Amino acid sequence: MTTTKNQKLLNWVAEVEAMCTPDKVVWCNGSTEEYDRLMGEMVASGMAIKLNEEKRPNSYAFNSDPSDVARVEGRTYIASLKEEDAGPTNNWIDPAELKETMKGLYSGCMKGRTMYVIPFSMGPIGSPISKIGVEISDSPYVVVNMHIMARVSDKVLDVLGDDGDFIPCLHTVGSPLEPGQEDSRWPCAPIEKKYIAHFPEENLIWSYGSGYGGNALLGKKCLALRIASAMAGREGWMAEHMLILRFTNPEGKKFHIAAAFPSACGKTNLAMLQSTVPGWKVETIGDDIAWMKPGPDGRLYAINPEAGFFGVAPGTAEYSNPMALASCRKDAIFTNVVVTPDKDVWWEDMGVECAGGTDWKNNPWTPDMKDADGNPIKGAHPNSRFTARAELCPVICEDWENPAGVPIDIFVFGGKRTTTVPLVHEAFDFNHGVYMGATASSEPTAAALDLGNVALRIDPFAMTPFIGYHAGDYMQHWFDMGEKLGDKAPRCFYVNWFRKTDDGKWLWPGFGENSRVLKWMCDRVEGKVGVRETPIGYMPIDGELDIDGLDLPAEDWAELMKVDTDLYKKTVIDCETFLQKFGDKLPVQITEQLENLKKRLS
């Protein structure tokens, strides 16, 4: 039951109940009691595994259905009233038609299940910058994850009051149960029935058929990026797929950096990096999403709307990201990892040996197992994830929940490029930085299921799957923000931690050593170091980006710092082809930047 008198909310809940016909409705309050009760029920039903209380207190593991392991971009829709408002990077269906189709699917979809009503706040509860959402879901897994990722509480309903507005987020796993029918361990619908739908003009989200991550935890990608980016475009702020960190120098001067890398390209790692530069320290503010607004002093201020980390498990190790490991030492949820015989968790490149256990498909597994082609069988899915409370991160910044946000000094763009793109370069000016962001490119990762066999994806601002409107208008919005911020706009840089040698080894050590690159950026902001001009941007003068003490052969460093104009020309052709899709919505500033770049490269 609920005490809310908010009529819009009560009407919506009643409507959804009538359409989805659950066995019962439960209003969630975010309490520990609620969390423990749902986990208890899921352990009893076999959906969750309670981990070893001594090794991993208050933590649980889940295995998804093998078909439901990541976001599904091909089934994600921006259903704006007009097709041209969704633009060339989004899937579009007429909203009336999509609602008809989805209502057909929603009809009776929660039969045999409990319908949870989850009031949540993205951003600190009650802060003027925060947004209130209410997710309706028939997945208890969604409820417990939302407890960690968003702020679920009765207090949200107090703030909402009798006539406050909220963003309705409707979710179902799309798997009704007939009387007596046994539930599957991870109910979901087949891919062709999945819909992750957004109605940007109505601030409305409808998700059907998936229980996983960004498809189901609707506060995250659906609300805080797709719906929020559309709002931000209308209202003059920014909602970006960016980590936020504070980098403090030995004198105590603070720099704030926001960085956009595509999914599974290093945001969580950079956000909690252990600096190897003596006296310099990183503190985490956010690892995935930034909401930014110009502040009273004309600078751009950022907050992290989330309350937890939904991080990529594989590769998270003591040597790579000890702060992420520490964040999931207790109170954590693991999805699609190995569960060891002593009921702890393991994944590939965790930096510790594992004799075997139960793999992400719930089968007995040992590390020597091979598939039919002789390749090792992975114990954890490449997109397996941990859900961890941000406040457990040992380097969480004291200002991480400050509703005023932190002033951004530096924007960083990037992606995974095993060739072509050097370790770091700087934009000539803000508009050039926007061009860099708009043409950022990356090789595909396991974070989305259906990208197909593309070798390279141009991924503007790492936002391609998350822009809730026309990507050309979105790019224009970036230029407009630059104009508004003037000389207070952040400095822009482009990085690539992922260059490989011909025999497949990383050229750059990465992880903590990335602090050397961040320090060079801060030195640039302070005017302490110079640059050499290249066709693609400013690059470090030899010796000014400190690589002392690294085991880095001179020829590898030269490779990391090289601008191969022939390879770059190819990338520019790919970018141009991509940008042509924008037609007359392509900002003139982009065309200008592209022409200038071509001239510099020729």
SS (HEC) of 452-465: CCCCCEECHHHCHH
State the residue for tokens 């998804």: 64
Q: Of 263, 269, 340, 589, which lies in the binding site for ligand SPV, with binding defined by CB under 6 A? A: 263
From the list 182-190, 228-236, 263-271, 390-398, the region that binds ligand GTP by CB under 6 A is 263-271
- Catalytic, 169? Answer no
519 binds ligand SPV (CB under 6 A): no
Q: Which does 214 bind (CB under 5 to 8 A by kind): ligand SPV, ligand GTP, Mn ion, none?
A: ligand SPV
Q: Which does 261 bind (CB under 5 to 8 A by kind): ligand GTP, Mn ion, ligand SPV, none?
A: ligand GTP
Kindly write out the interface string for residues 431-450 of this chain, putting x where it contacts ligand GTP by CB under 6 A and - elsewhere.
----------------x---
- By the 8 A CB rule, do 191 and 117 touch? no
506 binds ligand GTP (CB under 6 A): yes
Nearer to ligand SPV, 241 or 378 (CB): 241
Q: Of 314, 379, 433, 490, which lies in the binding site for ligand GTP, with binding defined by CB under 6 A? A: 314
Across the strands, what pairs with 77? 91, 197
Q: Which does 568 bind (CB under 5 to 8 A by kind): ligand GTP, ligand SPV, Mn ion, none?
A: none
Report the relative pairing of strands 364-365 and 357-358 from DSSP bridges: antiparallel
Residue 78 is inside which H or E element, if any? strand 76-78
Across the strands, what pairs with 500? 506
Q: Which residues contact 455 (CB under 8 A, 6 or more apart)?
A: 443
Q: DSSP class of residue 72?
A: -
Q: DSSP class of residue 158?
A: H
Q: Which does 268 bind (CB under 5 to 8 A by kind): ligand GTP, Mn ion, ligand SPV, none?
A: ligand GTP
SS (HEC) of 104-126: HHHCCCCCCCEEEEEEEEECCCC
State the residue for tokens 């030195």: 523
75 binds ligand SPV (CB under 6 A): no
Shortest distance in whole angstroms from residue 532 CB to ligand SPV: 34
From the list 34-42, 262-270, 403-411, 531-539, the region that binds ligand GTP by CB under 6 A is 262-270
Task: Give all strands (DSSP E) within 209-305, no chain letters.
Answer: 238-240, 243-248, 254-260, 281-286, 290-294, 300-303
221 binds ligand SPV (CB under 6 A): yes
Give 23-27's long-range contacts (Cβ < 8 A, gap of 24+).
Answer: 23/110, 23/111, 23/112, 23/113, 23/114, 24/114, 24/115, 25/114, 25/115, 25/116, 25/117, 26/114, 26/115, 26/116, 26/117, 27/1, 27/2, 27/116, 27/117, 27/119
- By the 8 A CB rule, do 314 and 386 touch? no
269 binds ligand GTP (CB under 6 A): yes
Q: Of 187, 214, 219, 286, which lies in the binding site for ligand SPV, with binding defined by CB under 6 A? A: 214
85 binds ligand SPV (CB under 6 A): no
Q: Which does 320 bind (CB under 5 to 8 A by kind): ligand SPV, ligand GTP, Mn ion, none?
A: ligand GTP
- How many whole angstroms separate alpha carbon 381 and alpha carbon 312? 10
Shortest distance in whole angstroms from residue 220 CB to ligand SPV: 5
Q: Which does 497 bind (CB under 5 to 8 A by kind): ligand SPV, ligand GTP, Mn ion, none?
A: ligand GTP
246 binds ligand SPV (CB under 6 A): no
Catalytic site residue from 109, 265, 354, 397: 265
Q: Of 56, 71, 75, 524, which lies in the binding site for ligand SPV, with binding defined by CB under 6 A? A: 71
Tell me which residues touch Mn ion (CB under 5 A).
263, 288
- How many whole angstroms separate alpha carbon 333 and alpha carbon 388? 7
322 binds ligand GTP (CB under 6 A): no
Q: Which does 319 bind (CB under 5 to 8 A by kind): ligand SPV, Mn ion, ligand GTP, none?
A: none
For the chain, percent helix, then strand, then coil, each to nearest 5?
30, 20, 45
The site for ligand GTP (CB under 6 A) is made up of: 261, 263-269, 287-288, 311-312, 314-315, 320, 447, 497-498, 506, 510-511, 514
By annotation, the residues acting in catalysis are 265
Site for ligand SPV, rule CB under 6 A:
71, 213-214, 220-221, 263, 288, 310, 447
